[in-house]
Each structure stands twice: as C-alpha cells, then as structure tokens.
Amino acid sequence: MVAAALVTVAALAVTAIAILRDDGGAPREAPRPTSASLSPELMTQVLDQARPTGVEVRDEQTAVTVRWSRSSRSNDQHLVQVLAVDAGMQPRTEPVAGQRDEVRVEGLDPNIGYCFRIGAVIFWDSPAVVAWSDSRCVRGATIVMGES
C-alpha cells in the first residue's frame, strides 16, 4: 500500500512537470496536481511519510538552532513555525532556504518561552498542504501547535 502511494505521488510529480503541446504547437506547462487529486486515505499516508521527525532545538538565548530529520521525500520545501507563547502572538511561519535540515532563528526575547515546529510542504494549494512535525519548546513553554 505504501509502495502504491509512492507510485501515485511520483506519477503526480511527473505530470506536474510534463510539457504538453496545444493545437498551435506552443509548449505549455501541465496543471500542477493539488491535494484534491488524492483520496483522504492516500493524503494521510503522504503526510505521514513526509512529516519531519527528530526535531531538536538548541536554545542560545536570543536565538535558537532547530534541527530535524528529513523524510524520504527529500525534495520537499520546509518551513519553520515559531510561536512566542508568553507573548500571546500568532505563529510566525518562514521558509527554510534550500534543502537544509537545520535553521537558525534569531531575534528572540530571552525572557519569553517559544515553541517551534518544522513543516514539509506537500502541495502549494491555497492554503498549502503541510506535514508538520511535533512541537518542541524552550524556556518552559508548553503548547501543541495546530494539526496538519
């Protein structure tokens, strides 16, 4: 069943980058697959397979370094989400540059507790479909950020 899910996802990826020719012969890009193109069961499998694991946070007072293990879907774009728990702020989500498995988050208040999680973007729908890791917190903060 997992192999079938991977084959389906691979087929969707190939479709997304395929070049088609219209009646005029001019090339155009094929429509990208969306989350709507997968059954709920397959979507659950894809999210579970893509979810970053082993998230570790090293507290450096005004900054933290967040590390994680990438899934077998090594080409997924990753995001880092930061929540200043004690400040009652909305989560801040930022892209992680390149194919990295570590990010440094700077400009933190050393007197506030923070929680972090890493997400792998599966589909760039509106809104994007993201497989989120479990939250990791520092400075006594405790919170579970939203589900995938």
For the whole prediction, is pTM greater than 0.85? no
Listed by start position, the domains of the chain span 2-47, 52-138
86: which residues sit within 8 A by CB, 6+ positions away? 112, 113, 141
What pLDDT score was predicted for residue 126?
84
Q: What is the pLDDT of residue 31?
A: 55
- Residue 111, both tokens: 């007197």
Per-residue pLDDT averaged across 124-142, rounded?
91
Q: Supply the mean pLDDT for the chain.
A: 78
CATH 2.60.40.10 describes domain 52-138 = yes
Q: Which pLDDT band, with edges at 50, 70 and 90, does 144 fall under?
A: low
Q: Tokens for 6, please give them.
A: 């991977």
Q: Does pLDDT of 57 surpass 90?
A: yes
Q: What is the pLDDT of residues 75-132, one digit of tens each?
A: 778 999 999 887 677 889 999 988 889 999 999 999 999 999 999 998 888 888 999 9
State CA 27 to chain mean position distance: 31
